């Protein structure tokens, strides 16, 4: 029995004594607290490419850094005026805007390239007015970029400086916020072409271009890009592979069926959203909308033949 009592006594003593924990690695200190007085380790950052300066712009506060400019379009630009919404061209671009916004509800579309088969078919006119139409919606932040580095015209349409612009940012010579302008009192942002470059296609092949396409939807609901014609350079073909969609602009009486066919075949991606037909006679648009605005409270406007609408 004594041995039984001795065993019970030893068991009670073992239960009262806390067990010895095995040796293990020391627990990590809370984030930001150094070990043994050592300075905290530096946060690793993406290495800077040799020969290229790091021009980092924080995601937050980017748009607040953009300089504002007044809306002073060139007289010959024929840009939409938000104060004259009843103009027939405004209604046409609002219709295109409605279709694009509907497509955006069905699939993630934010970056759109506007191009044409050949020069002088109105692609820059269409890109600028489409961006204006989108920016007229409340809260619909829109960016218009001139990616036609060969014959840029967006800076002329809005009468702003060409530099700094897209090429300056892609080459690492300017920050993103410095390469944009905001039209005062609107949701429209502009990025002109920037400094002229010798070989635009080589510039468009930089990884910075792809990164820019990926980052811009963080700030803008729509990014509209004016690009060179499809049949005169490979720039638009490359840009169309990076963007979410492509819009083809053709001109009545100028663009041929053969040109449209070759332009469509040249596109590497099947992401054509639609076609804008440019060059319709002013009388057709005029007669189409004057009845509606004169019927519903607007000032009565006579038909082109001089007879009022009945």
66-104 confidence digits (pLDDT tens): 999 999 999 889 899 887 776 767 889 999 999 999 999
CA atoms within a 13 Å half-sphere pointing along the CA-CB vector of 260 = 17
Which pLDDT score is estimated for 96? 94
The answer to whether residue 148 is domain-embedded is yes
The pLDDT, as a whole number, for residue 292 is: 43
The predicted pLDDT at position 18 comes to 53
Domain, as residue range, for 114: 63-292
Rounded Cα–Cα distance for residues 284 and 106 (Å): 32
pLDDT in tens, 24-75: 444 444 444 343 334 443 333 334 333 333 344 445 589 999 999 999 999 8
- Give whole-number Cα distances, 142 to 121, 133, 189, 247, 286, in Å: 23, 9, 6, 16, 28
Beta carbons within 8 Å of 159's beta carbon, 6+ residues apart: 72, 73, 74
Other CB atoms within 10 A of residue 135 CB: 25
The answer to whether position 90 is within a domain reads: yes
Instruction: Specify the pLDDT at position 90.
Output: 86
Per-residue pLDDT at 289: 43
Geometric angle at alpha carbon 92, from 145 and 279, rounded to 5°: 80
Q: Please indicate, yes or no, if residue 272 is contained in any of the structural domains.
A: yes
Counting the structural domains of the chain, the total is 1
Q: Dihedral sign, CA of 150, 156, 162, 166? A: negative
Task: Enumerate residue ranges in the chain where pLDDT < 50.
Answer: 1-5, 8, 15, 19-20, 22-58, 286-310
- Please check whether residue 223 lies inside any domain of the structure: yes
Locus of tokens 């019970």: 8
| Within a domain: 41 | no
Is residue 113 in a domain?
Answer: yes
User: What is the per-residue pLDDT for 81?
Assistant: 85
Distance CA 280, CA 249 (A): 13
Contact (Cβ atoms closer than 8 angstroms) between residue 190 and residue 164:
no
Burial of 15 (0-12, 13-18, 19+ CB in 10 A): exposed
**CB-neighbour burial class of residue 206 (10 A; exposed 0-12, middle 13-18, buried 19+):** middle
Q: How far apart are CA 73 and CA 182, in angstroms?
A: 14
Residue 11 within a domain? no
Classify residue 302: in a domain, yes or no.
Answer: no
CATH number at residue 201: 3.40.50.300
Spatial separation of the C-alpha atoms in residues 217 and 245, rounded to whole Å: 14
CA pair distance 265, 102, nearest whole angstrom = 26
115 in Cβ contact with 148 (< 8 Å) = no
Indicate the SS3 state at residue 172: coil
Q: Give the pLDDT of residue 263.
A: 92
């Amino acid at each position: 029995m004594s041995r039984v009592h001795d065993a019970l006594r030893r068991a009670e003593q073992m239960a009262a004594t806390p067990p010895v924990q095995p040796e293990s690695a020391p627990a990590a200190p809370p984030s930001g607290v150094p070990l043994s007085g050592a300075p905290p380790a530096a946060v690793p950052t993406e290495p800077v490419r040799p020969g290229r300066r790091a021009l980092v712009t924080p995601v937050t506060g980017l748009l607040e850094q953009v300089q504002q400019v007044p809306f002073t379009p060139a007289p010959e630009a024929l840009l939409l005026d938000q104060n004259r919404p009843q103009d027939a061209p405004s209604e046409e671009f609002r219709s295109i805007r409605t279709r694009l916004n509907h497509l955006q509800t069905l699939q993630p579309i934010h970056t759109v390239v506007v191009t044409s088969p050949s020069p002088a078919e109105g692609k820059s006119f269409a890109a600028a007015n489409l961006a204006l139409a989108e920016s007229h919606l409340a809260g619909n932040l829109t960016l218009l970029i001139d990616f036609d580095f060969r014959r840029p015209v967006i800076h002329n349409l809005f009468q702003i400086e060409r530099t700094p612009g897209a090429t300056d940012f892609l080459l690492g010579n300017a920050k993103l916020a410095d390469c944009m302008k905001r039209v005062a009192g609107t949701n429209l942002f502009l990025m002109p072409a920037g400094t002229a470059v010798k070989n635009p296609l080589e510039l468009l092949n930089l990884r910075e271009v792809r990164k820019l396409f990926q980052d811009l939807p963080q700030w803008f609901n729509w990014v509209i890009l004016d690009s060179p014609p499809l049949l005169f350079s490979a720039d638009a073909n490359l840009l169309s592979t990076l963007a979410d969609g492509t819009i083809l602009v053709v001109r009545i009486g100028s663009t041929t069926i053969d040109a449209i066919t070759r332009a469509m075949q040249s596109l590497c991606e099947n992401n054509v959203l639609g076609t804008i037909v440019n060059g319709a006679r002013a009388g057709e648009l005029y007669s189409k909308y004057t009845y509606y605005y004169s019927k519903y409270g607007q000032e009565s406007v006579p038909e082109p033949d001089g007879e009022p609408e009945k």
